[in-house]
Amino acid sequence: MSEPSGVAGQVQHLAGAERPRIALLVPCLNESLTIGKVIDDFRAALPEAEIYVFDNNSTDDTARIARERGCVVFHEPRPGKGHVTQAMFRKVQADLFVMVDGDDTYSARDVRRLLEPVQSGRADMAVGTRLQEFSQGSFRALHVFGNRVLTGIVNSIFQSRLSDMMSGYRAMSRELVCSTPVLSSGFEVETELTIRALEQGFTILEVPLAYQERPAGSSSKLRTFRDGLRVMASIVNIFRSYKPFTFFGSIGLFFLVVGLGVGTVVILDYFDDRYVEHVPLAILATGCMILSFFTFGIGILLNTINERMREIAYTQRSLVRGGR
Ligand SMILES: Nc1nc2c(ncn2[C@@H]2O[C@H](COP(=O)(O)OP(=O)(O)OP(=O)(O)O)[C@@H](O)[C@H]2O)c(=O)[nH]1
Ligand SMILES: [Mg+2]
């Protein structure tokens, strides 16, 4: 993983603050069965944090229960965990952020262990990973498999060594929250957050934690195939826009290899009797070579634009570190 680019600034930032403001962010859709316990547990474990519950058109008592317990409740009209995360990043001001699901699957007892790397400046994002320790029934087998496959793809594209990219329990620095754009609308948001943080050179640290199953009567909002496909699509989109040379270069390489292979047949054909008999192959080879140059060109062009954008992002991050 890359050098902790934001850490020096973060250490300085926190050192200057008497007590960092901590925000606990809880996305909720119909979690009335568990939200009360989640709030009570986190209030006991982290009394200095302000708790924000983000509700999306819940049809049960989630919002009322949270309000009665003195939490700040925001209502987000656009459905989806991604939309809710966008609202969280826009509306809440703090020095340290902790995101946790409202379904009581993550333990409040682990919160300080999760916060510590970010608070001390060792990491910009600490992710509570679940795949080392989880109870029977807390995960559907297909989810474990899908998570491992998708995390593996991201690791190979971004040269990272993550084990659970989709965890909903994470601590983040103010700098990361202020400089990471969130554009996804649904469950692909955790993948997006992870990839964008990696791409910007933020340090991600994984903290293995326990994961327990939802209590009886509480239901998951995750739809295996639909949400799995959305995560896959968002990986492809982010890969294309953040690593354009690798993305378009791979396509260009494919056309180059096919063009050279087919072209060799055509050239040998020509040297045989000074006449090209396989005209369709000649057209195919020419087409492949043109497409290859095209895609390589697009890759180089987008890569150059990306470099410029990175320079702008770097300046913006300096501003985020400097001002409050
Ligand atoms: N506000 C809001 N919260 C949501 C929405 N979808 C899910 N959530 C919340 O996001 C958290 C994670 O959703 P879950 O359904 O538990 O998804 P998951 O943890 O990935 O999947 P499971 O392992 O099946 O629990 C829960 O607190 C949900 O209430 C949404 O559309 N709006
Ligand atoms: Mg859950």
pLDDT band at 312 (very low <50, low <70, confident <90, very high): confident
Look at residue 17 and tell me whether its pLDDT is greater than 60: no
Task: Answer yes or no: are the C-beta atoms of 135 and 213 closer than 8 Å.
Answer: yes
Name residue, tokens 């649904």. 186
Mean pLDDT (the chain) is 89
Question: What's the gap in Å between 125 CA and the centre of ligand 2?
Answer: 20
Look at residue 278 and tell me whether its pLDDT is greater than 50: yes
> What does pTM read for this prediction?
0.82
Question: What's the gap in Å between 102 CA and the centre of ligand 2?
Answer: 8
**pLDDT above 70 as % of the chain:** 91
Look at residue 12 and tell me whether its pLDDT is greater than 50: no
Give CA 307 to chain center in angstroms: 21
For ligand 1, is residue 220 a contact (CB within 6 Å)? yes
For ligand 1, is residue 128 a contact (CB within 6 Å)? no
- The per-residue pLDDT for range 48-59, each reduced to its tens digit, is 999 999 998 899
Gap between the Cα atoms of 220 and 54, Å rounded: 17
- The per-residue pLDDT for range 161-178, each reduced to its tens digit, is 999 999 999 999 999 999
- The per-residue pLDDT for range 75-121, each reduced to its tens digit, is 999 999 999 999 999 999 999 999 999 999 999 999 999 999 999 99
Look at residue 6 and tell me whether its pLDDT is greater than 80: no
Give the position, in ligand 1's atom list, of the atom nearest the Cα of 76.
1
How much is the pLDDT for 2?
37
How much is the pLDDT for 241?
87
Mutual orientation of helices 189-199 and 141-158 as an angle, nearest 10°? 20
How much is the pLDDT for 321?
74
Residue scoring higher pLDDT (316 or 247):
247
Lowest mean pLDDT among 3-12, 36-45, 283-292: 3-12
- Average pLDDT for residues 240-245, to the nearest whole number? 91
Residues 6 or more apart from 134 whose CB is under 8 A from it? 210, 211, 212
How much is the pLDDT for 8?
41
**Burial (0-12, 13-18, 19+ Cβ within 10 Å), 217:** exposed
For ligand 1, is residue 219 a contact (CB within 6 Å)? no
Give the position, in ligand 1's atom list, of the atom nearest the Cα of 138.
23
For ligand 1, is residue 81 a contact (CB within 6 Å)? yes
For ligand 1, is residue 69 a contact (CB within 6 Å)? no
Given ligand 1 and candidates 33, 65, 103, which is best to mutate, with the most ligand atoms within 8 Å of its CB? Answer: 103
Look at residue 194 and tell me whether its pLDDT is greater than 70: yes
How much is the pLDDT for 3?
36
How much is the pLDDT for 39?
98
pLDDT band at 200 (very low <50, low <70, confident <90, very high): confident
Q: Are strands 204-211 and 125-134 parallel, antiparallel or unpaired?
A: parallel
For ligand 1, is residue 222 a contact (CB within 6 Å)? yes
**Which amino acid makes up residue 244?**
P
How much is the pLDDT for 207?
95
